[in-house]
Chains A and B, each alone.
Chain A
């Protein structure tokens, strides 16, 4: 079974500082990996995804993530945090072995951005 571990349930950064949210995965097959963001009282919005090809993936709102197979990691970064980035972030892996669209999510990281 596939799984995802997000280190740090709460991360606090200053506005303008680097954002680094950590995600490690476990998968017996090449994974499809995703980062989603959730704002209060809203659904999930896809930030970026890794399927195949280039290991550095760029997403929306200035976020990017790098797939590192040797470290089984897919950490999310943004060079400069903005107040509007405050939200909960979820890393997820797709289970293709069973066919279809099942996503397994990490427990989430709440990002706080301070002035």
Chain B
């Protein structure tokens, strides 16, 4: 089955700096890659996702890049703010015929701390 590795496990940055979290996956059939943010005691929330037919996607201060050849994808957060502090999870899935979404394989998470 799919294996998703995520690095680093912890990341501390100063407010206003950028943060980058990287993930690799093993199954070349994976074609859907969402990112989740989980604040302490809260549910994971989908913040951005990307499909394998695009290389980059942006949404305000967050962006995700995908390198299918190398089988890795990254989350980039610019102009970080203290409220960005949370655990971030990457995931991979195979989206089948008709865009049927399968189970997600999650990375182990990155604890991001943004210092004011």
Partners in one complex: no
Interface residues of B (CB under 8 A from A): none
Interface residues of A (CB under 8 A from B): none
